[in-house]
């Protein structure tokens, strides 16, 4: 158990795990090697997050845009997912981690879909950290599906005609019941969200770090948490409040 403690520990951290391929290319290795090394970083960060008391950790594992990558790379990524479920799920379960998967499950092949369901079902009663895996996920697609669901509920009479609210949309997102991320980290030096948690990130603290994902170790993660704890989150207001004479 690490000794890291913070009075402002984020409840929910989300990470865009970027740079595996470039990390491998810099070493004249195939991209698949970078993805495999990235899995080792994933193990380290998940363990560290649980140790320090993070309640929710969301990892951008496979975006809906990743289907544009070469088929060989997609096959390798799916192979890593299978390895994760077969090898690492037992450890997560033993550590009381609950796994939740977000993203569009329509048209996923049955073997992949069954793996995702297995991970959720095996850990559904765990009470420790919730590990959210964003797989075949895109934020615009998520919002579109949520709005379509709300429209169906209005047409069916389950929701009033004036029931289009932020709360109603949030309740139909893949992340329903999960608090919005306090901190979003992106590795590799890129400074964009790339269609990740666009609705949920309205007031998230954003942190873009130069390290490629395979180089983002325990110390880097703890440093990000420490930097987060020094930030002043105002959520559109004034903090501390300004005293106005006569008010």
Q: Which domain holds residue 52?
A: 12-138+180-226
For 123, the token pair is 């850990």
| Domain-located, residue 20 | yes
Distance CA 85, CA 81 (A): 6
The four Cα atoms 231, 236, 240, 245 give a dihedral, to 10 degrees, of 160
**Residue 180 tokens, joined:** 């919005």
CA distances (Å), origin 124, targets 30, 112, 120, 131? 36, 18, 6, 11
pLDDT at residue 143, as a whole number: 98
pLDDT attached to residue 74: 80
Q: Looking at residue 247, what is its pLDDT?
A: 33
Task: Examine residue 165 and state whether it is found in any structural domain, yes or no.
Answer: no
Residues noted as catalytic? 18, 66
Rounded average pLDDT over 186-208: 97
Helices (H) and strands (E) in the chain, counts: 8, 6
pLDDT at 240: 54
pLDDT bracket for residue 20 (50, 70, 90): very high
Residue 202 lies in a domain: yes
Residue 143 lies in a domain: no
pLDDT exceeds 70 at position 110 = yes
- Residue 28 CA to residue 22 CA, distance in Å, equals 10
Any binding-site annotation on 18? yes
pLDDT band at 173 (very low <50, low <70, confident <90, very high): very high
Whole-prediction pTM value?
0.89
Cα–Cα nearest to 35, from 68, 69, 86, 58:
69
Tens digits of residue pLDDT in 56-101:
999 998 877 777 777 777 887 778 778 777 788 999 999 999 999 9
The pLDDT score that the predictor gives to residue 77 is 78
When divided into structural domains, the chain yields a total of 1
60 membership: H or E segment, kind and range: strand 56-63
In a domain, 215, yes or no: yes
Q: What is the mean pLDDT of the chain?
A: 89
d(CA 61, CA 46): 13
**Does residue 247 have a known ligand-binding role?**
no
pLDDT one-digit tens code per residue, 200-243: 999 999 999 999 999 999 999 999 999 999 888 766 665 554 43
194 is in an annotated binding site: yes
CATH at residue 191: 3.40.1180.10
Is 138 annotated to bind a ligand? Reply is: no
pLDDT-derived band at 162, boundaries 50, 70, 90: very high
Measure the N-to-C terminal CA separation of the chain; round to a whole number of Å.
Answer: 49
The pair of structure tokens assigned to 131 is 């590990």
* Alpha-carbon distances, residue 178 vs 56, 87, 182, 210 (angstroms): 8, 26, 12, 28
Domain presence at residue 245: no
């Amino acid at each position: 158990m690490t000794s890291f403690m913070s009075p402002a520990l984020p409840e929910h951290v989300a990470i865009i795990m970027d740079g595996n391929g470039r990390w491998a290319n810099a070493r004249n290795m195939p991209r698949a090697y970078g993805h495999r090394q990235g899995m080792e970083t994933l193990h380290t960060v998940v363990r560290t997050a649980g140790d320090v008391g993070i309640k929710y950790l969301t990892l951008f594992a496979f975006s809906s845009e990743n289907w544009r990558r070469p088929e060989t790379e997609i096959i390798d990524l799916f192979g890593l997912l299978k390895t994760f479920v077969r090898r690492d799920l037992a450890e997560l379960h033993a550590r009381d981690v609950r796994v939740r998967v977000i993203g569009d499950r329509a048209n996923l092949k049955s073997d992949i879909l069954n793996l995702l369901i297995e991970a959720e079902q095996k850990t559904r009663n765990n009470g420790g950290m919730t590990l959210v895996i964003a797989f075949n996920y895109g934020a615009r697609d998520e919002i579109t599906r949520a709005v379509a669901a709300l429209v169906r509920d209005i047409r069916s009479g389950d929701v009033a005609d004036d029931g289009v609210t932020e709360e109603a949309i949030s309740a139909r997102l893949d992340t329903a019941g999960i608090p919005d991320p306090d901190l979003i980290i992106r590795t590799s030096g890129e400074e964009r969200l790339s269609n990740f948690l666009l609705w949920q990130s309205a007031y998230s603290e954003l942190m873009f770090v130069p390290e490629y994902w395979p180089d983002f170790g325990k110390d880097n993660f703890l440093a990000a948490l420490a930097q987060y704890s020094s930030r002043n989150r105002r959520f559109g207001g004034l903090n501390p409040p300004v005293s106005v004479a006569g008010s």
